[in-house]
Amino acid sequence: METPSQAKAMLLVEPKRLRCHQLPIRPPDHGGWLAIEANGISGADVQIWKGGRADVVYPLVLGHQVVGRIASTDGSLPHEIGTRVVVEPELHCGVCSRCRLGISGCRHRRPINSYGRLPSTEPPGLWGGLAEYLYLDPSSRTHVVSDDITAELATFVHPLAAGYTWAVELPLLQSGQTVMVLGPGPRGLGCVIAAMGAGAAWVGVSGLDVDGDRLEVASRLGAKLTVNATTEDVPAAVADHLGTRPDVVVDVTSDDPEAMFTALDLVRSGGTVILASTKGNRPVHFFSDLIVQKQLTVKGALGASSAAYTWAASQIATDPRLDDLVSHQFPLEESSRALQAAAGMLGHDELISVAVTF
């Protein structure tokens, strides 16, 4: 596979303004290059595209849910040229305090050492999935994914891995336990698949009135209850159906402070709440005595573990129920429309998840 001297990239030069540029592909001193096949669009990408993240430095190449083939390597990557991999978004310097603690959010590069977040002024510039090539930093973590599935489906490894970390690993989910997922987006659906796969006895999902198609998919994937939170009282609906309170509640909503109250209210005493959604960088006031009185475990979740990626890359290739989860595809030049679609601006009918494919 010959690596060209430059790559087409959709640069986000300011909120909502994408420009097509050619960026140089320099032979790296370390690491390698990935020829991108597809990139999944996430809610976080939409947030940055809209200008809703204060820490973002423009211009940058968006996209952190990348699938591609190894195009060149200095030998530090454990793959041969042509191997198809998914790339974990996070990079790890290994020496900063967060890396040493084994938690997400390495600050070795600013504002955050992660694909789709670094400005393109940081050499070698190609740090995002909305481009033909991605620089493979030597610290990048890659997972081989089957050649037998489509590239767009392979992007779903990313939300599936997040679902595994959030609904299984962090709450230490046991077989036979019950899980309520707030939010039926790709990561919420990932939570459903992962929790069912880990032997959960019952999984429920809530969404808004625009989420009808996603809730239907959740049912198909094994959710025992789906709730329209726009018209129904979620705790009452869960109590009616389950007859008790769930062991685990995962908040995977998009920028919805109310969901946190619902989660704390809904979960059983001694249960676990996983907060996997940010609230627009705004303070949220809540009744903290509830955590004490119910003796809850509350964990913040950011990103997915490497073990979760390994599980998800295997699951995606073997579970035919997942084949239709990427509902919308756009070419690179139509990245703006892809972001609009993921934001629900092109309508919610049949919207499950969105990918840009090459």
Residue number, 139 or 357, with CB nearest to Zn ion: 139
Residue number, 122 or 258, with CB nearest to Zn ion: 122
Residue number, 99 or 308, with CB nearest to Zn ion: 99
Residue 166: DSSP 8-state: I
Q: Distance (Å, rounded) from C-alpha 262 to C-alpha 55?
A: 29
- Let me know: does 142 contact 136? Beta carbons within 8 Å: yes
Residues in CB range of 354: below 8 A, 6 or more apart: 40, 41, 326, 327, 328, 329, 330, 338, 341, 342
* Interface residue with Zn ion, options 106, 234, 237, 296 (CB under 5 A): 106
- Select from 50-58, 100-108, 304-312, 326-334 the region that touches Zn ion (CB under 5 A): 100-108
Least Å distance, CB 119 to Zn ion, is 18
- Select from 102-110, 163-171, 186-194, 238-246 the region that touches Zn ion (CB under 5 A): 102-110
Least Å distance, CB 100 to Zn ion, is 8
Residue number, 185 or 303, with CB nearest to Zn ion: 303
Least Å distance, CB 110 to Zn ion, is 12
The residues in 150-169 that bind Zn ion, with binding defined as CB under 5 A, are none
Query: Which tokens is 34 given?
Result: 């990935």
**What are the C-alpha distances in Å from 329 to residues 56, 342, 347, 355?**
26, 10, 14, 5
Q: Which residues face 204 on adjacent strands?
A: 180, 225
Length of the chain: 358
Least Å distance, CB 138 to Zn ion, is 13
- Residue 118 found at the interface with Zn ion (CB under 5 A): no
The residues in 50-79 that bind Zn ion, with binding defined as CB under 5 A, are none
* Interface residue with Zn ion, options 53, 108, 299, 348 (CB under 5 A): 108
Residue number, 140 or 253, with CB nearest to Zn ion: 140
Residue number, 101 or 292, with CB nearest to Zn ion: 101
Site mask for Zn ion (CB under 5 A), range 80-99, x = bound: -------------x--x--x
- The one-letter code for the residue type at 8 is K
Please give the distance of CA 329 from its chain centroid, rounded to a whole number.
Answer: 17
**What are the C-alpha distances in Å from 78 to residues 31, 72, 144?**
11, 12, 10
Residue number, 93 or 201, with CB nearest to Zn ion: 93
Q: Which of 310, 345, 2, 347 lies closest to 141, judged by CA?
A: 310
Binding site for Zn ion (CB under 5 A): 93, 96, 99, 106, 108
